Amino acid sequence: DAMVIQNPRYQVTQFGKPVTLSCSQTLNHNVMYWYQQKSSQAPKLLFHYYDKDFNNEADTPDNFQSRRPNTSFCFLDIRSPGLGDAAMYLCATSRVGQQRYNEQFFGPGTRLTVL
């Protein structure tokens, strides 16, 4: 089945220790998104790639970076995690340009704990 996969599902890191979260997709979607979601809050868009074009949200801290080496994979790098970065990180994909709705499909998420 076509899907969005995130690894790891759970990540524990220490304060200030860099961490990388990964996302892969078999949907062949051209847009990949990274969201941060904290308890009882809406998902917050950090950035997204439209094909190879990187689009950063204005309020995304510099501590967060992303890479998309090819269509299928996208990575979220947190250079120096702080306690406030503990959250669920969601990867989503959509196909833009060919469909009217551009609905997003989410991966299972990575729960990040910062000690």
Partner 1 sequence: QKEVEQNSGPLSVPEGAIASLNCTYSDRGSQSFFWYRQYSGKSPELIMFIYSNGDKEDGRFTAQLNKASQYVSLLIRDSQPSDSATYLCAVRKSGGSYIPTFGRGTSLIVHP
Residues in touch with partner 1 (CB under 8 A): 31, 33, 40-43, 45, 48, 88, 90, 94, 96, 100-109, 111
Provide, rounded to whole angstroms, the least separation between the CB of residue 105 and partner 1. 7
User: Closest CB to partner 1 among 39 and 70?
Assistant: 39
d(CA 80, CA 21): 13
The label of the residue with tokens 């074009």 reads 53
Provide, rounded to whole angstroms, the least separation between the CB of residue 109 and partner 1. 4
User: Closest CB to partner 1 among 17 and 57?
Assistant: 57
3-class secondary structure for 37-75?
A: ECCCCCCEEEEEEECCEEEECCCCCCCEEEECCCCCEEE
User: Closest CB to partner 1 among 81 and 107?
Assistant: 107
* Contact residues for 99 (Cβ-Cβ < 8 A; gap 6+): none
Provide, rounded to whole angstroms, the least separation between the CB of residue 36 and partner 1. 12
d(CA 36, CA 79): 15
Provide, rounded to whole angstroms, the least separation between the CB of residue 6 and partner 1. 8
Q: What is the DSSP letter of 80?
A: S
User: Closest CB to partner 1 among 2 and 17?
Assistant: 2
